[in-house]
Copies of this chain bind each other. A is one copy, B any other.
Amino acid sequence: MTNICSCKYCDLRDLFFTNIRSKDRETICSIKTELYFNKGDKIFQENQKIETFAYLKSGLVKLSRLSSSKKEQLLFIAKPLDFVSLLSVFSENNYKYSVTAIEDSVVCELDINIVKNLINENSDFALDIMKKMSKISDFIITQSLNIRERNLNGRIAYLLNYFSSQIYTSNTFELPITRKEIGEYIGMSTENIIRSMSSLKKEGIIDIRGKIIEITNPKKLQILSDLG
């Protein structure tokens, strides 16, 4: 976790802050903190006090929480442009979920009060933030329902499809999480994750080389995802 600054050439400047005035943008650039996290680093800890407004600049992170029976539950994998410190930022004082880097990641942080001030002064920005928050929450809820309606094989097919089409936009990718974490994501045991993936391999739908997954028959995978 290092701290450098390259705001001037940041690709996200306009994407994230479309409706912000140029003087505000300069302020943000000068006060923001850019943090580097290695794969596996914890970015925010459940219950920790919220003091910044953070967004993911590059990399990949997971949102998770500890269930009451002390089991990890994974609820979302966020890619750049998805908020990191989303959801509770404006309604809670403490994080309800942990955020962990599952790939080397860069996070930009701003003092939460500065963002609140910007919202106060700039209603276009406020509406922008609301839209982004809505979209993410909606996605989490919808995906959770999508997973819930499927059985083991359907869930695996859905998830591999999601990684391939939404996260990596490629038929070949390296799984960013372990089999155990996949289980925590879709609510199934580690062993059955492996069994289901092995059967996909046997049927010639995917190829597995350790963490590298290649979807050799995307159509069949889609069908399995649809009917599972």
- Would you call A73 and B148 a contact (CB within 8 A)? yes
Query: With the chains together, A124 CA to B148 CA distance in Å?
Result: 38
Q: Which of A26-34, A128-136, A190-198 contacts B (4 or more CB under 8 A)?
A: A128-136
- Would you call A65 and B145 a contact (CB within 8 A)? yes
- Would you call A87 and B127 a contact (CB within 8 A)? no
Query: With the chains together, A100 CA to B130 CA distance in Å?
Result: 25
Q: Which residues of B contact A131 (CB under 8 A)?
A: 90-91
- Would you call B130 and A96 a contact (CB within 8 A)? no
Interface band, chain A: 35 or more
Copies in the complex: 2
Kindly state whether residue A137 has any CB partner on chain B within 8 Å. yes
Kindly state whether residue A116 has any CB partner on chain B within 8 Å. yes
- Would you call A123 and B134 a contact (CB within 8 A)? no
Cβ 8 A contact of A88, one of B120, B134, B144, B146: B134
Supply 17 further A-B pairs (C-beta < 8 A) apart from A122-B123, A130-B133: A69-B149, A69-B227, A73-B148, A87-B134, A87-B137, A88-B134, A90-B130, A91-B132, A119-B123, A119-B127, A120-B123, A120-B124, A126-B127, A133-B134, A134-B137, A137-B137, A140-B141
Closest chain-B Cβ to A39's Cβ sits at a distance in Å of 25
